[in-house]
Structure 1
């Protein structure tokens, strides 16, 4: 009997460090056949360009959550397509706003279509050590992702003190008292979870997801042809970040192309050799379409040159 593909689901709220974690895992699996299904809320996939490697198969599903009925068919089709490519591992990186409570429905659908192609090996939830305690108070998705996981990885622990880390762990235990908790520094773990059986004591059932076409957050893409200073871009982002769940993209600045990543109050810039035809920022709004006017007025006031928002 041929070996089944090990399938892992990667969850975690926006900006928790899923892509960094996945990049490190992929680096450890360079000699293996690995597939990635990348799900982003925006119309434009940003993270797919970050993790692309020569020996990796990638399918991107954008414009919503794969667990919402609006993308259900796309997700099942992607799983079936990956099964046909005979991978050793497939990682599904879900959107930061995904509620994976209904993962069982998708596994059942794939089994009907492809038989036992996959060995579902568990859901890994990346928890943002810096922002988690604030997020858990007002974002239901964060709790749902934790409840339906088999391994919790706390990221960014180098940016918090021991007291905060202990509070984060105890809050996680209130929601999920069975999943193993590990900590990651710069997306790296101390041990290899691939060799563990995360499903040994599978306590996670299936429930209806809270993701629906009605509560899908508004995602906008800002496109700009030209170069601006880091100072001006920072000033612009500072004006709109309080109304955004997440802002990320690639932008041409005075020192060249930068990967831009905004989580909470923090703005990170990282020089990159990836050149794009235009600078782009994907903005996920907390306040729906009401964010459009502030974006235009802040851009006009700070940059004053033409950009497109769609």
Structure 2
């Protein structure tokens, strides 16, 4: 009997903490054969650089959602390639703007091509406890991710009070009354996902995704050769963040290389020993290409040195 590869899908809106939880799981599986398919909207993959380890099989798919017709072939090819590598576990981290409601279609195509090689073990949706109530009002993708998941993890519980947490839980149950809900504090989850049968009730079906080439958000990459102060970068980010779903990347500042992460109003910096040839920020726009001019204007006003935007 051939052992199937256990396949997990991680969903959750931009900045919810998917990569944090995935990294934690990968650390627990350091002695196992594990593969990751990492999906990001930008042309440049940032999260793949964060989780890279010597013994990890990683495939990155950028420039859109893996559930959109524009990347369907790439996603199927990645799943087939992972199956051929005989992994014990494969984790798919989808873009924060991905609608995973058609995951079943991809599994059917892979089964036709390679046979019954995967044991689909469920979709895990990471919910941003701080920003969720605002996001759910404005962004359809957040609701779709919740509707088509088998487990919810509420992140950043340490940053909200009980009243907000109760409202978040009530809203999740309103969208998906069957799903199990777990809470995480400081990026830690006192719960072993891999020991739980998330597919026990198998209530999640398949629908057509809302992701399409037409509604794909504008994503830009800012590249800069040089070093600036953290204060200058914060000033720049404070100007453009209101028009951005998410900003993230690696930047060389006066105190060395930093991982930069912007979600809504919050700007986080984390020192890293990862050194790049150039500083890069991936910016996912809320307002389409109209964000280009404000980015150039803000950069010129605060930094005043040449950068590239593509």
TM category, shorter: over 0.9
**Size of the alignment, in residue pairs?**
310
TM-score, with length taken from structure 2 = 1.00
The answer for the alignment partner of 1:239 in structure 2 is 239
2: CA distance, partners of 1:224 / 1:180: 44
* Stretch of structure 1 that moved more, 191-200 or 293-302: 191-200
Aligned equivalent of 1:112: 112
Please say if residues 20 and 186 of structure 1, whose CA atoms lie closer than 8 Å, have aligned partners that are also in contact. Answer: no
In the other structure, the counterpart of 1:282 is 282
The match for 1:97 is 97
Over the residues paired in the alignment, what is the CA RMSD in angstroms? 0.5
Per the alignment, residue 226 of structure 1 pairs with 226
Match of 1:126 in 2: 126
- Preserved CA contact (<8 Å) 1:37 1:59: yes
- Misfit runs of 4+, over 4 Å: none
Residue-by-residue CA offset, 1:111-144 (whole Å, 9 max, x unaligned) = 0011110000000000000000000000000000
What CA distance in whole angstroms lies between the structure 2 residues aligned with 1:41 and 1:24? 23
Shift of 1:60: 0.1
Q: Secondary structure at the match of 2:124?
A: strand
* 1:151 matches 2:123: no
Deviations 1:47-70 (A, max 9, x none): 000000111100000000000000
Match for residue 11 of structure 2? 11
Shift of 1:195: 0.9
**Secondary structure of 1:100's aligned partner:** coil
Give the distance between the partners of 1:147 and 1:139, measured in 2 at CA: 14
Spell out, residue by residue over 1:146-201, the C-alpha distance to the aligned partner (whole angstroms, 9 max, x if none): 00000000000010011111110000000001111001123221111101110010
Provide the residue aligned with 1:50 in structure 2: 50
**Do structure 1's residue 87 and structure 2's residue 75 form an aligned pair?**
no
Structure 2 CA distance for aligned equivalents of residues 189 and 58 of structure 1: 24
Structure 1, gaps ≥5 residues long:
none
Residue matched to 1:268: 268
Residues 1:295 and 2:295 aligned together: yes
TM-score by length of 1: 1.00
CA contact (8 A) 1:152 1:181 kept: yes
